[in-house]
Structure 1
Amino acid sequence: MLVCQCNLITQKEIEETIISLLDEDAWQLIVPAKVYHTLSKRGRCCGCFPNVVETIIRVTEEYHHRHSGAEGAEIVTYLDQVRALRERYGSRMHERRQKGHRAA
């Protein structure tokens, strides 16, 4: 699946990059800019960054679950925390458009 239309980056490429970064240091902070830098790309419109953040969180949780040997209850679910923060502090605008915006 194509995640970034500006740079033609697929979901699989992003996931592989995240895993390679985690293999280097499992506890480093991974952000979209770091993923794009590793892919030798740069964010242009940055509209894909929210999806990349969710992919980073999902892949990181799966990675730590596979490699830690801990039970499911012991692993903190960061994705739920990020979604809660988005609902609490998130912008009322999406891509700088107001809710009632019409394209035509």
Structure 2
Amino acid sequence: MLVCQCNMITQKEVEDTIISMLDADPWQLIVPAKVYHTMSKRGRCCGCFPNVVETIIRVTEEYHQRHDQSEGAEVVTYLDQVRALRERYGSRFNERRQKGYRAA
């Protein structure tokens, strides 16, 4: 699946980059700009960043679940919390326009 049409980046490329970053340091903070920098790309319109954030969270959770299974550690899921925060705060003040705003 194509994640970023500006750079022609697929979902698999993003996932592989995140896993390679986690292999280097499993507890680092991974953000979209860091993923793009690792792939030698840059965000152009940045419309794909919300999807990349969800991919980062999902892949990171799966990575830690796979590697912590033997130890029996509990992995806290953050994806649902991030989605709830996005629904609560993210769409309400989109560019500070009113709901009935029309450009033309």
TM class by smaller structure: 0.7 to 0.9
Q: When the two structures are superposed, what TM-score results if normalisation uses the length of structure 1? A: 0.85
Structure 1 residues 44-73: Cα deviation after superposition (integer angstroms, max 9, x where no partner): 00000000000000000000000011558x
- How far is the alpha carbon of 1:92 from its aligned partner? 2.6
- Select the structure of larger CA radius of gyration: 2
* d(CA) in 2 for partners of 1:20, 1:65: 16
Structure 1 contact 4–48 (Cα < 8 Å) conserved: yes
SS of residue in 2 equivalent to 1:3:
strand
Correspondence 1:29-68 to 2 at 5 A: 29-68=29-68
Instruction: For 1:6, give the aligned amino acid.
Output: C
**TM-score, normalised by the number of residues in structure 2:** 0.85
Structure 2 gap segments, 5+ residues each: none
Give the percent of matched residue pairs that are identical in Structure 1 and Structure 2.
82
Q: Which runs of 4+ in 1 moved over 6 A?
A: none
1:84 aligns with 2:100: no
Determine the C-alpha separation between the residues in 2 that align with 1:99 and 1:66.
44
Offset of residue 87 of structure 1 = 1.8
Cα distance in 2, alignment partners of residues 9 and 101 from structure 1: 33
Q: How many residues align?
A: 102
Question: Is the contact made by 1:4 and 1:10 (CA closer than 8 Å) also made in structure 2?
Answer: yes
What is the root-mean-square deviation of aligned Cα atoms in Å? 2.3
For 1:50, give the aligned amino acid.
P
**Which residue is 1:26 aligned to?**
26
